[in-house]
Structure 1
């Protein structure tokens, strides 16, 4: 099985989720450091749709200026555009497998798609 993780190596939850993936037999892990290689707004829309959450639910508030920018109350297209332009606004980690997508907070949520 292939698993893609949108990863921030400075984030403990992201590192722990990556460790779960790497420790699982039969999982080929692709790591995308999304701060260096941000997903497009279209890719983010697909990830959130497949995860069953809204872009606003995938918005990182802690350590960002999302509140000051009014993003929690913005429409989905505005949130996605802001995330694509400023990927620090993306809550992490997102993991995609052929079984679905999860925002892995807590890290154990990754088990649902393995």
Structure 2
């Protein structure tokens, strides 16, 4: 997901001159946070926006703040969608595997049953399907 997000931000920067540069750091905090008590670890990531003076001038400041503020909601929405998509695929795979197992189970029950008739002494075979 992080690679896709990073790719989308870089594509947006190529398409729009006014888009800020976005830096993504996984596990370790960015250099700007060195010497602070910033968390680091496998489940930690940092997104840094490099804002230029045109992003914080009086005309664009409110829109810039609004867009950065709504990024969290945007990310949460896409994470939930990704989880739902993965669960849907896992359920479909599970359903396919169950169908295969059920077919194999039915084929295993079609065995030949041998009965011996003691009065004549001959063995006869019959097929029984359950």
Is the TM value for this pair above 0.5?
Answer: no
Question: Per residue, is there more helix in 1 or in 2?
Answer: 2
Q: Which has the larger radius of gyration?
A: 2
More relative contact order in 1 or in 2 (CA 8 Å, sep 6+)?
1
TM-score w.r.t. structure 2 length? 0.28
